[in-house]
């Protein structure tokens, strides 16, 4: 006998409240993006592997360990998207979207990484994504971050989340800082964790991200970016922080917040919470002025963020349900046929209706109560003959007869 089919590890099935929470987040995202003038965009769920290998960096964990990569029947190497930015950047180049710059776009959907599943982290997970491409002004960073803050406010969780902000400076700043970090960490190479020693050779800025306790004293004594900021980079960051203050967005400076890849410049930020254990970041982003250039395009300034829908879903309260306005309780074949038409009319009038498909009157009334209906519409041969229905208020128990033609108006006014 075959064993029961199970969901693949790291995937999830959602029903009821979990699904409602998920789509509450998506609906809020869609409302807020309209306020900020962001267009909706769709990109493929898989791309040529080179799109992600070039944009994420061959040495990152995502590329080396976590991507779902496969060869199709034509022999091409394809990868399920581990994030959205690379695909949007590819579309910006291949579809000629440069003509729309500065381009403000959003999307959401599934992404895939082969990670160890834990609370708020899945192998098929879902992200919100917002990007401004072709704008190099600090005001675009401010607008994008304010968008994230307003989304969190819309979800009712802004007080549980802190915005952490840093600058990575311009290329000159970053190169000088990186060289100083390499020199610092090289002096402590044999005191670093194994992972940080690997990062020292491949991606030294990421050592500042280390979660290994033995690395903490070495990281704490490392050079900070402020010591290497050019006048231009300091001015850019000053305009971002002043803009956030003007927009009423609270922020905290975190000089250890970094992005390891060379195409990241200037602003880096995360909205973090202490309510999700290790998975503290709910929105993370930054300026990536060098990405499109690294993909073979012209120099194109850009800034963006991504947010985990599952993580945001865990933070919000249970969505308020409008509930069912009326449950139909037909008695007899003729009433069952008539009830189908009545339900359709009420739904077209904007009223939520439910109808049990089987059972005697007692069972159907139990169903009406179980779905939380405000009213039960009881329909039998006698009621049909009079062109009426018996409408029972399930909270008060009061019952009255109402003409079928007046049902929608009566229920809306109740």
Sequence-distant (≥ 6) Cβ neighbours of residue 71 within 8 angstroms:
77, 78
Of 225, 220, 223, whose CA–CA distance to 210 is shortest? Answer: 220
pLDDT, residue 118, reads 74
Q: Are 321 and 20 in contact (CB under 8 A)?
A: yes
pLDDT tens figures, 299-323: 999 999 999 999 999 999 877 767 8
pLDDT at 120 over 80: no
- Do 260 and 397 fall within a single domain? no
- Do 119 and 257 fall within a single domain? yes
pLDDT tens figures, 373-392: 889 889 888 888 899 999 99
Whether 204 is covered by a domain: the verdict is no
Whether 206 is covered by a domain: the verdict is no
Whether 202 is covered by a domain: the verdict is no
pLDDT, residue 55, reads 64
- Do 283 and 334 fall within a single domain? no
Sequence-distant (≥ 6) Cβ neighbours of residue 211 within 8 angstroms:
none
Q: Is 246 annotated as a binding residue?
A: no
pLDDT tens figures, 247-267: 999 999 998 888 867 788 999
pLDDT at 211 over 90: no
Q: Are 114 and 251 in contact (CB under 8 A)?
A: no
Whether 288 is covered by a domain: the verdict is yes
Q: Which of 265, 287, 315 is the last residue of a domain?
A: 315
pLDDT tens figures, 268-299: 999 999 887 765 889 999 999 989 998 899 99
pLDDT at 124 over 70: yes
pLDDT tens figures, 364-374: 888 887 888 88
Q: Is 84 annotated as a binding residue?
A: yes
- Do 240 and 363 fall within a single domain? no
Q: Is 107 annotated as a binding residue?
A: no
Q: Is 36 annotated as a binding residue?
A: no
pLDDT at 330 over 60: yes
pTM of the full predicted structure? 0.86
- Do 48 and 145 fall within a single domain? yes
- Do 278 and 380 fall within a single domain? no
Report the half-sphere exposure of 184 (CA within 13 A, side-chain side): 20
Q: Is 199 annotated as a binding residue?
A: no
Strand 375-379: give its sheet, edge to edge.
353-355, 326-330, 375-379, 388-393, 399-403
Q: Is 113 annotated as a binding residue?
A: yes
CATH number at residue 402: 3.40.50.800
- Do 247 and 164 fall within a single domain? yes
pLDDT tens figures, 130-172: 999 999 999 999 999 999 999 999 999 998 999 999 999 998 9
pLDDT, residue 60, reads 58
Average pLDDT value for the chain: 89
Bridge partners, residue 232, by sequence: none
pLDDT, residue 25, reads 96
- Do 38 and 152 fall within a single domain? yes
**Residue-range definition of the domain harbouring residue 241:** 17-170+230-315
- Do 258 and 346 fall within a single domain? no
Q: Is 123 annotated as a binding residue?
A: no
- Do 300 and 349 fall within a single domain? no
Whether 125 is covered by a domain: the verdict is yes
The H or E element spanning position 347 is helix 333-348
Q: Is 99 annotated as a binding residue?
A: no
Q: How many domains does the chain have?
A: 2
Q: Is 81 annotated as a binding residue?
A: no
Q: Which of 285, 315, 345 is the last residue of a domain?
A: 315
CATH number at residue 163: 3.30.930.10
- Do 391 and 283 fall within a single domain? no
pLDDT, residue 58, reads 55
**The two structure tokens encoding residue 31:** 């409302």
- CA dist., res. 28 & res. 18, Å (int): 16
- Do 155 and 259 fall within a single domain? yes
- CA dist., res. 318 & res. 311, Å (int): 14
Q: Which of 292, 315, 338 is the last residue of a domain?
A: 315
The most confident of the ranges 59-68, 240-249, 274-283, 332-341 is 240-249
């Amino acid at each position: 006998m075959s064993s029961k089919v199970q969901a693949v590890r790291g995937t999830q099935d959602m029903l009821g409240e979990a699904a409602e929470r998920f789509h509450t987040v998506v609906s809020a995202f869609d409302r807020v993006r309209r306020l900020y003038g962001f267009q909706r965009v769709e990109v493929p769920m898989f791309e040529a592997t080179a799109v992600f290998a070039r944009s994420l960096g061959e040495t990152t964990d995502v590329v080396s360990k976590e991507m779902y990569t496969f060869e199709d029947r034509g022999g091409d190497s394809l990868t399920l998207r581990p994030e959205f930015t690379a695909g949007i950047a590819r579309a910006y180049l291949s579809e000629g979207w440069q003509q729309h710059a500065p381009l403000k776009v959003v999307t959401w959907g599934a992404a895939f990484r082969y990670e160890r599943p834990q609370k708020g982290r899945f192998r098929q997970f879902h992200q919100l994504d917002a990007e401004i491409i072709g704008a190099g002004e600090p005001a675009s960073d401010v607008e994008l971050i304010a968008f994230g803050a307003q989304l969190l406010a819309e979800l009712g969780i802004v007080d549980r989340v802190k915005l952490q902000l840093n600058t990575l400076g311009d290329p000159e700043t970053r190169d000088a800082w990186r060289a100083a970090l390499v020199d610092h960490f090289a002096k402590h190479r044999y005191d670093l964790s194994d992972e940080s020693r690997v990062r020292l050779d491949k991606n030294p800025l990421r050592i500042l991200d280390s979660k290994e306790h033995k690395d903490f004293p070495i990281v704490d004594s490392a050079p900070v970016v402020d010591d290497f900021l050019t006048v231009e980079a300091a001015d850019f960051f000053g305009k971002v922080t002043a803009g956030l203050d003007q927009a009423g967005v609270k922020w905290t400076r975190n000089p250890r917040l970094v992005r390891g890849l060379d195409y990241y410049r200037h602003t880096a930020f995360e909205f973090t919470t202490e309510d999700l254990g290790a998975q503290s970041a709910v929105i993370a982003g930054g300026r990536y002025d060098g990405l499109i250039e690294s993909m073979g395009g012209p120099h194109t300034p850009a800034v963006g963020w991504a947010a985990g829908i599952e993580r945001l879903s865990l933070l919000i309260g249970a969505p308020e349900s409008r509930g069912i306005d009326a449950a139909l309780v037909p008695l007899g074949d003729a009433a069952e046929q008539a009830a189908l038409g009545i339900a359709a009319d009420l739904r077209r009038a904007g009223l939520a209706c439910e109808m049990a498909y089987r059972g005697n009157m007692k069972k159907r009334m139990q169903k009406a109560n179980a779905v939380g209906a405000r009213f039960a519409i009881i329909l039998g041969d006698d009621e049909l003959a009079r062109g009426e229905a018996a409408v029972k208020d399930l909270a008060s128990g009061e019952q009255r007869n109402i003409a079928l033609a007046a049902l929608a108006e009566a229920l809306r006014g109740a």
